[in-house]
Amino acid sequence: MDADKLIEIENELLSSYSKGGGVNHIGGPSLPSRESISEILYTIESLMFPGFQSDENIDQCILKYRTSEKLNQLFRKLYQEIKKATCLKNAPDKRASCQDCSASAKVKTEEFITNLTKVRDKILLDADAALSGDPAASSMEEVILSYPGMKAVTIHRIAHEFYKLKIPLIPRMMSEYAHSATGIDIHPGAEIGDYFFIDHGTGVVIGETTVIGSNVKIYQGVTLGALSVKKEEANVKRHPTIEDNVTIYAGATILGGDTVVGKNSTIGGNVWIVKSVEPNSKIYNKPIDYSIKN
Strands across the sheet with 205-206, in order? 185-186, 205-206, 223-225, 253-255, 272-273
Q: Write out pLDDT tens, residues 172-214.
A: 999 999 999 999 999 999 999 999 999 999 999 999 999 999 9
Nearest to 113 by CA among 150, 146, 143, 75: 75
CATH 1.10.3130.10 boundaries in the chain: 30-184
Q: Which of 5-14, 178-187, 212-221 has the lowest mean pLDDT?
A: 5-14
- Binned at pLDDT 50, 70 and 90, residue 242 comes out as very high
Rounded to whole angstroms, how far apart are CA atoms 130 and 198? Answer: 8
Cα separation values, 58 from 50, 270, 283, Å: 7, 45, 48
CATH superfamily of 190-286: Hexapeptide repeat proteins (2.160.10.10)
pLDDT of residue 55: 65
Q: Write out pLDDT tens, residues 229-239.
A: 788 777 899 99
pLDDT of residue 20: 64
Rounded to whole angstroms, how far apart are CA atoms 174 and 37? Answer: 7
Residue 168 has pLDDT above 80, yes or no: yes
Residue 256 has pLDDT above 60, yes or no: yes
Contact call for residues 171 and 222 (beta carbons, < 8 A): no
pLDDT of residue 16: 85
pLDDT of residue 23: 67
Neighbour tally for 1: CB within 10 Å: 6
Mean confidence (pLDDT) of the chain: 92
pLDDT of residue 68: 95
CATH 2.160.10.10 boundaries in the chain: 190-286
pLDDT of residue 29: 74
Q: Write out pLDDT tens, residues 135-153.
A: 999 999 999 999 999 999 9
pLDDT of residue 229: 79
254: β partners: 224, 273
Q: Write out pLDDT tens, residues 92-110.
A: 655 556 788 899 999 999 9
Q: Write out pLDDT tens, residues 27-69.
A: 767 889 999 999 999 999 999 999 887 766 778 888 899 899 9
Question: How many CA atoms does the CB half-sphere of 183 hold within 13 Å?
Answer: 12
- Binned at pLDDT 50, 70 and 90, residue 125 comes out as very high
What is the fold of 30-184?
serine acetyltransferase, domain 1 (1.10.3130)
pLDDT of residue 95: 52
Which DSSP helix (H) or strand (E) runs through 221? Answer: none
Alpha helices by DSSP H, listed for the chain, are: 3-17, 34-48, 60-90, 98-114, 116-133, 140-146, 148-164, 170-182
Nearest to 274 by CA among 233, 240, 230: 240
Could you tell me which residues come within 8 angstroms of residue 175 by beta carbon, excluding any fewer than 6 positions away? Answer: 155, 156, 159, 185, 186, 187, 188
Could you tell me which residues come within 8 angstroms of residue 260 by beta carbon, excluding any fewer than 6 positions away? Answer: 240, 241, 243, 276, 277
Q: Please give the share of the chain, as a percent, with pLDDT higher than 70.
A: 94
pLDDT of residue 11: 92
Residue 273 has pLDDT above 70, yes or no: yes
